[in-house]
Amino acid sequence: MSYTFQFGVLAQYQDQILSGIWLTIKISVLSIILGCAAGIGLASVRSIWGGAVRFLVDAYVEIIRNTPFLVQLFIVYFGLPGLGLRVGADTAALIGMTINLAAYSTEIIRAGIEAVHKSQIEAGEALGFTRFQIYRHVIIVPAIAKVYPALCSQFVLMMLASSICSAISTQELAASAAFVESQTYRSFEIYIAVTLIYLVLALALRAVLAVVGMWLFGRRVARRTMTALPEVQA
């Protein structure tokens, strides 16, 4: 059985593919920023407050981490209009990705906060730090530094999971690939190309995050970021 690869036919759809790449990058970067910020906030609230607040945060984390991302997207895109909140496909993708990533980020950062030894907090109090200074300099920054490689792995996974957003008509890379395949019937060529594009995007994102880690936390964290393997989502 012979098969002749014809990657040249993809050139005429380069605008469609580039548009998909750009949307993938845009929603991934925005969801990483928003999801990480939400994760820091929720993990901080959980560690400071107890009772009902901690229960609500834990419930949110468990629900998101133990349900499929696709179902979460469907709830945002198809469910919210039933409540009178209609959003476009791109916005629904961003909301769904942010909600999902925030839950995973919260759990990762929580582990980092719990890894901070109480003696460090006592040392901050002995030096006359305020509660805010202790939380910022002694707890949250060292906690994020400890779990930064795990966070970065989750960020890369979220970028790759953006391909699922094609199920709600978001015209990111995977949706663009499906359109090109429907026009050319060159399945091998388009999906091999898309695989390589996702690989480049993942490696580029990991490199950028390593630079950010070096700037924020130093070279050791950056090296761990580049070598860390992504964790499998529940």
Q: What percent of the chain stands above pLDDT 90?
A: 59
- The pair of three-digit structure tokens given for residue 231, joined into one six-digit string: 């964790």
- Residues 16-46 have pLDDT tens digits of 999 999 999 999 999 999 999 999 999 999 8
Question: Which amino acid, one-letter code, is at 141?
Answer: V
- CB-based contacts of 33: which residues, under 8 Å, 6+ apart? none
Domain ranges for the chain: 7-227
Q: Comparing 151 with 51, which gets the higher pLDDT? A: 151
Q: Comparing 140 with 50, which gets the higher pLDDT? A: 140
Name the residue among 17, 24, 20, 31 with its Cα closest to residue 72: 31
**Averaged pLDDT, 130-142:** 80
- Residues 87-125 have pLDDT tens digits of 999 999 999 999 999 999 999 999 988 888 877 777 877
- CB-based contacts of 112: which residues, under 8 Å, 6+ apart? 142, 143, 144, 145, 146, 147
Q: Is the alpha carbon torsion for 124, 125, 129, 134 positive or negative?
A: positive
Q: Where are the beta strands (DSSP E) in 58-177?
A: none
- The pair of three-digit structure tokens given for residue 49, joined into one six-digit string: 């407050």
pTM value? 0.86
Q: Is the alpha carbon torsion for 151, 157, 160, 163 positive or negative?
A: negative
Name the residue among 186, 128, 199 with its Cα closest to residue 159: 199
CATH 1.10.3720.10 fits 7-227, yes or no: yes
Q: For residue 157, with 0-12 CB atoms within 10 Å meaning exposed, 13-18 middle and 19 or more buried, which class applies?
A: middle
